Structure 1
Amino acid sequence: MTARVPNRAERRARRARQCVAAAAIGIGVGFGAAGGQAVAWADTGHPDSSAASSSHSAPSGPRRSGSGHSARLNGAPAAATTSSRSAGLATSRRATLQLNPVVAQPVPNASTTTPSTPQPPGPLSPIAQLIGFPGHVVNTVLQSLDMTAATTGPQSPLNFAPIDELVFTAFRRLEHAAGLDAMPTSQPVPPTMTYTGSTTGLTPTVAQFLNAAAAEYVLGGAPGGLRQFTVNGVPMTSTNVLSGESAQVWVTPQNQIIIAYQGTTGGTNLLFNPLIAISQIVTDLQILFTGTTPRAFTDALRFEQRVQDAAALQGYSTSDIFVTGHSLGGWEAEYVSQQTGLGGIGFESPGINTIVTGNGANSGFVNIETYGDPAAYFSSDLPGLQPFMPRYVPAGGSKPHYGPIVMIGDPNAVAPLFNSSALYGYGPIGDAIFMIDTLGNFFEHHLPGMQAYNLGVDPDPTVVPWLGLRMGPVTGYGALTIPQLLQAASEAGTLIAP
């Protein structure tokens, strides 16, 4: 992309990144030194039940060597052809996502046959139920206060939606008055992809992935229709306060496992574990402003390996295991998928620092991103936040996503980000406008309730259901599997090459 700021501004932006990076690394190293080895274990109750490491370990099978790349796709590489766009827009490339139709699993972890006979999750032990009880009670109170919601939970007499709509209406008018919502005339168009693989492979649905990811923000929450994966009656969970990694494991009615990683701050889990938010914010900064891999990512990978070992003893194969998460949780899911070949969906996940050939274009992992959400554009393969973020490179760069990108929402919502980022580096006023507009758009588009709206999902559960700005078409993707999602987004022209 053509540079839009003078060299002086670029040097200013680079110096700002270096300062923040130094602070982030310093704090991160401090946490790492204090924490010792990474923590991944089976806890009793929910991961919010304790801020310290648990001594209850799930039984594990023989340790596998390497990272467990057994489920990688043996498909043809993506091919790129040239397509023209309207005048004033950059030329986009159209890649072809070609999956081998001969193999049994055209998308990793998307199988038409089940070689193993997984055991349904066993009931929770009385002790596990007792430990999880306070969280469920607190969540019921939060539901009555309209802070969380579930399809089977109490309906709150409160309704903060009118206040939310009033605030965002005022915010949008300010954007309009400043000219930030004007459509840019030279905004690059990311390359799209064409999916040609099978759509019959069995995976969890988009709604199941989203609800599992959103449940990580809800203290004592459980995704509708899913059950906790247990080992001897104990839910298998992971929480490391020092690194910021936290996860739970769920089983679908089709006996497929979803490992869900928690996003930044943990939502209402802060009531029981507030300190983890600090570690998670440090992790966010480390990924954004350095080229390193944070400890939370390696903790997430170790936990997946523990889950895989425990699941094998209960008849599950790697094709039965998937990963998901929202925001930071989606980041971690991206990394785990990249290192293991597992399929899954990351919601509003930014680009990552570990880069592989092809960036997972033929993988079974998909990033669902909302137009206008800054988190999606914390990357080098989506144009919108340069020069704050590294240079935009179609289908690449220094911080690309791993896995194809499915865009949802209103495409026009990118304009304020693109226009306000052009002011970054021009002095305190320009920087302030950029930061305020980015923060406003974050709360407009980032939360799981916004993705639920655009995907046509009835969220179960969700946190602060009234927060955000519902805009753009409703896709109805909620009932689709991963292959069906790829096919639908491909036909809609919203499947973006990573």
Structure 2
Amino acid sequence: MRVSKVRPFGYGAAAVAISAGLVFAPVHAAAWADTTGTESAGSESAGSESPSTAATSGESDSKDTADAGPKLTEPARTEPRKAGPRRSLRDRAAVDLDSQAPELEAPNSTEQQDDSGSPDTAVDTPAPEPTDDTEAGRLNRPLLKSVRTHRAGISSARLSAPSGGVLTLEVPSAAVATALAPALPAAVVSTAVDPTLPTPTVPTPPKPLSPIAKVLQLPGRLVNAVLQVFSLTTSANSHGLPNGLNVVNDLIFGVFREIEKLIGLHRTPVAQPTVPTMTYTGPTTRPTPTVEQFLNASSASYVLGSTPGNLVPFTVNGFQLSATRFFSGMVAKTWVTPEGQIIIAYQGTTGGSHLLFNPLITVAQIVADLQVIFTRTTPLAFYDALEFAERVRAEAALQGYTDDDIFVTGHSLGGWEAQFVAQRTGLAGIGFEAPGMNARVPGNGADSMFVNIGTYGSSATAMATDLPYLQPFMPPYVPGGGSKPHYGPMVLIGDPAAMNPLYNVSKLWGKTLIGSAIFMLDFLGNFFQYHLPGVQAYHLDIKSNPGIVPFLGSKRGPVHTGYGALTIPQLMKAASDDGILFLP
């Protein structure tokens, strides 16, 4: 059953407006690996770090922390090494490897043994490595330097080469081969599978955080405990002030709505374009995380020292696999559901209570927001998000997961990044309150398993060309497309009448200085009223765990009962039946 009805709301923005608005917006950051100094400029934490390196703040992302472990050594050379181009971070991303991997000697070795004397890794004897002047020589060097892995990876693979030819890497499963392939030149890595090697049949259960990782997250947990006392953040077991700031919040937005009525912004537009709906006829049996798990993972990205309800960190070497890129503003963490599914959660603008430890990253995040809105380019943060997803895929494959077990999510800027990753990789997931993108593909993912959930009245969702509410502030509206469409079907929740103020006020943009000022103020008012995750939780019948500034926003209107417990295909089916599934 779905309940319905209630009042209107809106959203708007200009460079200054968005800069101010987004600082308070989707505020949620995950805990576990995000404490004072566990991540630094462009750093990735987790699997590739040893405890000692993870404990040291200020490590650059360009430094491969896996180098602390044993390395795959190169054959002896007959000629001196020639200088070559430095491999990009993208070339190395998926092969940060376990420091526990046994040492592999490429030359003159037929079998290696561990300390117990049992065979561990077989390496066929290759011919002497071709000189640097040959094509094979140039291709072999990255493999020998980069391929160090663990568990189901290189520690149980064969490395061989024909006489004077290119080295071939045989891995234990097609999943591992596929995950490693993007990190190395195509001619170097082989997708051949050796049937004699062990293949993971089920994902490895997530291992707990190391003692050092637990210590590093204590500052964030302590700060969050204080914030919960003042009802600035919440969790399932938190006990804050009885009413928090609900009264003040309701008073502010009550006055705001009255002002909108006073100047006529609440009126139903005479001719409002109709957004084409979709009918979902696909299967509903594919197992995925639930809407509640996706929203909690997205919300946790704003709450320092928090953990999404019932989820645990996806760990490598005792540390949660995560990344923080100060230059681009991309922040991401990985979580595992009780059902054994991995969720990559990207952080939205400001990082919420993470501002207390990492305020400067907000500048990069706002720049990324404005770049997408006011230009036709794609910010570096989106490519960093894609690179991190490839790293997660590689590490997950080594622990027995497949791409069907990996999902992406995020709120606001995080939802934008999740959209981009889904578009480029085909991963399923849910994005919350994300605008449209500059990157387009045929069909815009209408048949994909990535879904956008937006709230009527939120100016963020309306910043797109496949929705008609913010033109001429946005480029022209095109049903099911345009220059800035969403990727994946859209589910719009809440009261459709809440869009009326945005639709009406957008007509004032650019006409006069006063008109543009009114537009920006109404844009921001609707942003804070409908954009934050707590509002989506209300409409989706979810109790946020965690939540941030739970009092902020207007929780009124339709409640889509039972939506929180739905998987992705079940959500599309329910939204289709309710007439709120729309074409991107």
TM-score by length of 2: 0.69
What is the match of residue 381 of structure 2? 296
Work out whether residues 313 and 334 of structure 2, in 8 Å CA contact, stay in contact via their aligned partners in 1: yes
Work out whether residues 46 and 317 of structure 2, in 8 Å CA contact, stay in contact via their aligned partners in 1: no
Q: Distance in 2 between matches of 1:379 and 1:50?
A: 39
Shift of residue 50 of structure 1?
A: 5.6
What is the match of residue 166 of structure 2? none
Q: Could you tell me which of 568, 573, 577 is aligned with 1:487?
A: 573
Q: Distance in 1 between matches of 2:460 and 2:436?
A: 9
What is the match of residue 33 of structure 1? none
Work out whether residues 46 and 320 of structure 2, in 8 Å CA contact, stay in contact via their aligned partners in 1: yes
Q: Distance in 2 between matches of 1:459 and 1:116?
A: 34
1:74-97 Cα shifts (integer Å, max 9, x gaps): xxxxxxxxxxxxxxxxxxxxxxxx
Instruction: Look up the SS of the partner of 2:484 in the other structure.
Output: coil
Matched, 1:411 2:418: no
What is the match of residue 211 of structure 1? 296
What is the match of residue 137 of structure 2? none
Shift of residue 247 of structure 1?
A: 0.6
Shift of residue 366 of structure 1?
A: 0.1
1:262-290 Cα shifts (integer Å, max 9, x gaps): 00000000101011000000000001111
What is the match of residue 191 of structure 2? none
What is the match of residue 387 of structure 1? 472
Work out whether residues 45 and 320 of structure 2, in 8 Å CA contact, stay in contact via their aligned partners in 1: no
Shift of residue 426 of structure 1?
A: 1.2
1:113-153 Cα shifts (integer Å, max 9, x gaps): xx940111111100000001110110000000111000122
Shift of residue 185 of structure 1?
A: 1.3
Alpha-carbon distance change, 50 to 446 in structure 1, aligned in 2, over 3 angstroms:
farther
Q: Could you tell me which of 52, 55, 60 is aligned with 1:53?
A: 60
Work out whether residues 50 and 273 of structure 1, in 8 Å CA contact, stay in contact via their aligned partners in 2: no
Work out whether residues 39 and 238 of structure 1, in 8 Å CA contact, stay in contact via their aligned partners in 2: yes
Q: Distance in 2 between matches of 1:50 and 1:474?
A: 44
Alpha-carbon distance change, 332 to 404 in structure 1, aligned in 2, over 3 angstroms:
same
What is the match of residue 46 of structure 2? 42
What is the match of residue 374 of structure 1? 459
Q: Distance in 2 between matches of 1:437 and 1:219?
A: 30
Q: Distance in 2 between matches of 1:141 and 1:492?
A: 41
Q: Distance in 1 between matches of 2:58 and 2:566?
A: 36
Alpha-carbon distance change, 121 to 155 in structure 1, aligned in 2, over 3 angstroms:
same
1:159-196 Cα shifts (integer Å, max 9, x gaps): 10010000000000000000000000101011000000
Q: Which range is displaced more, 325-334 or 470-479?
A: 470-479
Shift of residue 66 of structure 1?
A: 5.1
* Letter matched to residue 488 of structure 1: A
Work out whether residues 42 and 326 of structure 2, in 8 Å CA contact, stay in contact via their aligned partners in 1: no
Q: Distance in 2 between matches of 1:205 and 1:158?
A: 29
After superposition, where does 1:9-158 map in structure 2 within 5 Å? 40-42=44-46, 53=60, 56=65, 59=97, 64-65=180-181, 116-157=201-242
1:286-333 Cα shifts (integer Å, max 9, x gaps): 011111111100100110111111111111111100000000000000
What is the match of residue 114 of structure 2? none
Alpha-carbon distance change, 127 to 64 in structure 1, aligned in 2, over 3 angstroms:
same
What is the match of residue 95 of structure 1? none
Q: Which range is displaced more, 354-363 or 147-156?
A: 147-156
Instruction: Look up the SS of the partner of 2:386 in the other structure.
Output: helix
What is the match of residue 347 of structure 1? 432
Q: Distance in 2 between matches of 1:51 and 1:392?
A: 45
What is the match of residue 467 of structure 1? 552
Structure 1: gaps of 5 or more residues: 1-15, 21-36, 69-114
Q: Could you tell me which of 421, 440, 443 is aligned with 1:336?
A: 421
Matched, 1:306 2:381: no
What is the match of residue 165 of structure 1? 250
Q: Distance in 2 between matches of 1:447 and 1:53?
A: 32
Q: Distance in 1 between matches of 2:239 and 2:56?
A: 23
Shift of residue 154 of structure 1?
A: 3.2
Work out which of the two has the higher radius of gyration on C-alpha atoms and give 1 or 2: 2
Alpha-carbon distance change, 48 to 412 in structure 1, aligned in 2, over 3 angstroms:
farther
After superposition, where does 1:210-359 map in structure 2 within 5 Å? 210-359=295-444
1:436-483 Cα shifts (integer Å, max 9, x gaps): 001000000000000000000000001100000112211021000000
Shift of residue 53 of structure 1?
A: 3.4
Work out whether residues 52 and 241 of structure 1, in 8 Å CA contact, stay in contact via their aligned partners in 2: no
Q: How many residues align?
A: 418
Shift of residue 382 of structure 1?
A: 0.5
Instruction: Look up the SS of the partner of 2:279 in the other structure.
Output: strand
Alpha-carbon distance change, 186 to 282 in structure 1, aligned in 2, over 3 angstroms:
same
Alpha-carbon distance change, 49 to 450 in structure 1, aligned in 2, over 3 angstroms:
farther
Alpha-carbon distance change, 409 to 331 in structure 1, aligned in 2, over 3 angstroms:
same
1:21-51 Cα shifts (integer Å, max 9, x gaps): xxxxxxxxxxxxxxxx975553879x99967
Work out whether residues 140 and 154 of structure 1, in 8 Å CA contact, stay in contact via their aligned partners in 2: no
Q: Distance in 2 between matches of 1:258 and 1:236?
A: 11
What is the match of residue 360 of structure 1? 445
Q: Distance in 2 between matches of 1:373 and 1:182?
A: 17
Work out whether residues 381 and 399 of structure 1, in 8 Å CA contact, stay in contact via their aligned partners in 2: yes
What is the match of residue 421 of structure 1? 506
Q: Distance in 2 between matches of 1:141 and 1:278?
A: 26
* Letter matched to residue 356 of structure 2: L
